[in-house]
Copies of this chain bind each other. A is one copy, B any other.
Amino acid sequence: MLVECGKTKVLCTVCVQDQVPPWMYKRQAGGWLTAEYSMLPGAGQPRKPRDGRTGRPLDGRSFEIQRLIGRALRCAVDLGALPEVTLWVDCDVLAADGGTRTASINGSIVALYDALLWLEEQKQLPKWPLRGLVSAVSVGIVDGQPLLDLDYQEDNAAEVDLNVVFAADGRLIEVQGAAEKRPFAMEQFQAMLALAQPACAQVVAMQRQALGL
């Protein structure tokens, strides 16, 4: 599943592995879902060295994003209704121009849907485990105005950065808002939230189209 959002391109794939992580053995039945996020070295300017090649510690930003993707998707899936498998969600950014984390979530849920369809065809799903689609939207404040889906230049200029993940029914899964340089007022935050909510409906419509639903 290749997601394009402006000049940003993210390749989202879901692989099914026939085992669950060791820490789950004794704790709970069902399956697990985990996500990994990485930018290809040439995705942006300047070139970003590969993790693990230079002996440096891993990149904290990638960690943060992949944890967000994992939480968002796990929220959409009834893990107990999965067979004993791990769903590996891989989001690899081929080209980066802002909004890679929201593009990753929006594409991954489509790839996940496909993977679950494949599992169903294999008769491995006792019941359909997906509770619904999820969609992610980013909003920034540029020159005092809330703005949807910033590109890289706008993002650099933004005073506040908000990412919201919604369930398809409009309820919230994750809200991450951060001041870039200075604190922001509660009213600004509310204005950004208000802008994000309707945008999610559009994303879900595109996801349904991609899935032929």
Chain A, range 167-210, C-beta contacts under 8 Å to B: 167, 169-179, 181-186, 189, 193, 197
Asked whether A60 is an interface residue with its Cβ less than 8 Å from the other chain, the reply is: yes
Per the bound structure, the CA–CA distance linking A47 and B51 in Å amounts to 18
Chain A, range 24-80, C-beta contacts under 8 Å to B: 36, 38, 40-42, 46-47, 50-58, 60-61, 63-64, 66-67, 71, 75
Contact A17 B40, beta carbon cutoff 8 Å: no
A172 touches which one: B52, B56, B174, B186 (CB < 8 A)? Answer: B186
Give the Cβ gap from A4 to chain B, nearest Cβ, in Å.
14
In the complex, residue of chain B having the shortest beta-carbon distance to the beta carbon of A132: B183
Q: B-facing mask of A11-22, CB < 8 A → 1, else 0? A: 101110100000
In the complex, residue of chain B having the shortest beta-carbon distance to the beta carbon of A18: B46
Which B residues touch A173, using CB under 8 A? 178-179, 183
If the complex has contacts A51-B51, A57-B52, A64-B67, are A183 and B172 also in contact, measured as CB distance less than 8 A?
yes
Q: B-facing mask of A72-112, CB < 8 A → 1, else 0? A: 00010000000000001010101000000000000000000
Q: Total interface residues on A, using CB and 8 Å? A: 57
Give the Cβ gap from A15 to chain B, nearest Cβ, in Å.
4
Give the Cβ gap from A82 to chain B, nearest Cβ, in Å.
14
Give the Cβ gap from A95 to chain B, nearest Cβ, in Å.
10
By a beta-carbon cutoff of 8 Å, the part of chain A in contact with chain B is 11, 13-15, 17, 36, 38, 40-42, 46-47, 50-58, 60-61, 63-64, 66-67, 71, 75, 88, 90, 92, 94, 131, 162, 166-167, 169-179, 181-186, 189, 193, 197
A selection of 12 A-B contacts at a CB cut-off of 8 Å is: A13-B42, A36-B41, A42-B90, A51-B53, A52-B57, A52-B58, A61-B67, A63-B64, A64-B64, A172-B184, A175-B176, A175-B177
